[in-house]
Structure 1
């Protein structure tokens, strides 16, 4: 790609070759622009498609967005790219960040608006806001870039068994709180699945690999309780934003949230589909968000012992009828009431279901 992309479709087509590394095909043309703004993009790793390495040998500077295992103090991890619109970079003072192409022309305007409402300025620091903050906005021609802190490059939380009921419900509480904060500002995420939640743990497995099942009779090794564990909600590419002055009856959408650029490439929607999404009728995207998170909570319940009251809540969140579902706020209030009703011994109860097969 010798010229800046005019659409997201240009980006995807440029990287359609099997050996096309986004660093070379897409991001090299922006390197000098980013450098002029104090950002040095990472280097492509020869022979490893979609893998990036830091641009220098300096250790990552502390930034408050990452914790690491005591066994990983001096280790540096590669960035494994999940989508071509992301690019890792390092600031002049050694902080690691991720640059994202948010908007090209009119494409991505809801994405940008969502991030400006949720992740820009003082609102990004509001208690209860789990949206990954935008540290810097950059524009070049018709392209808008957002600069985020480098969080976990993928969600590592599934690598760690839950210590007990308190650990598990605390994790789900953060995810639900993240969604409620968005909805309170009239932003429906529309892709509330596990892959769009990251955390502030850097690098590999660490902490003696607590995902490894402990011997019979021993407790799960701790992970989230060892540091100020925090969940972050990312990827508002499919988000829809409504005006605060809008009529609540008009806050609806239709169909699946697959962008036209991906449809033209033959992409298919591969997420679990709420019943209303294929009805052909207008539907409330906020209640669909609740369904998406509820289906994930139910999947967690398949592998862990969950209090009965929480199971009932998760079932209602994933109800077939949108009208039978609680709002994100109602679900969050109910989950916290459930937590407060449990005794200390109940909160300390192990939740992992050992596979005896």
Structure 2
């Protein structure tokens, strides 16, 4: 199904044509194989980085493409429609570059060309085993010791935990609450940083997540992002953008499911007719297409606010909430369109269905998004 896109420039049209070409050539043929083996496609990420697709929203002076977020999210959507794990990896890596790009010192920003170019892959270490949604209560502690911080604690559900070259580590350098949290940019090879075995997940198996144990890991003090106590503010600012990335991933996944269901319904015959010609199925597909279009519009509207420099936190929460709930419904309906065939791994809609669930959880559960939206009513 062709998506009719209105883009801000000819350059953006050419960019998305490149993304589509790369996604068809490098992603779509490999997704099922890598998922079956639970293998992270590190070389695919390097290819995207060398093609300039890991730094789309970042300034050209750091090697980025300086594209509007509106364009970046549509590129992410195209990637997700072919292979969600890769799109999610791009979104997480983009999120991981944000603290350094937005709050880093001049010296720290010298790392950005390699980060944005994909030679250095990032991870975002915020959640903990006992504190996923309640990030202000994190317990990982960093104690200043001369020219280093000694970091001790455990992070959980970390994407790229076993593959990353650098970690944004949100840790407690002060007292309780949000004001005691700081952000350290830790090299992955630091002694005392110990990624654990990957979790056995329901979906996104080619993008493994794991806990990371910090056992008195000594991180140079000049790797502090911003000042002490600024970590929670940095984390929340990054997540506002990250939630738009996840919303775009959800739209792409749902579009991929819709495209596959449409193609199947046009070919499958029952009672002497194509099943797409039965009104009951046609209406189901019509609802799916409408939901995808609505989620795309909501996500891009939030992105345009961000591009205009206007507040967009609540709109990002709305987009993440609606788009990921939509992806769960649409992938469920895609399985239904295929009937029994949709329940077996021979067709990708079974995988799409499993993958959709995690999008309602990552970057703040959808219950957290409802809290963000509801609280905005009282201000």
Q: TM-score, normalised by structure 2?
A: 0.28
Higher helix share: 2
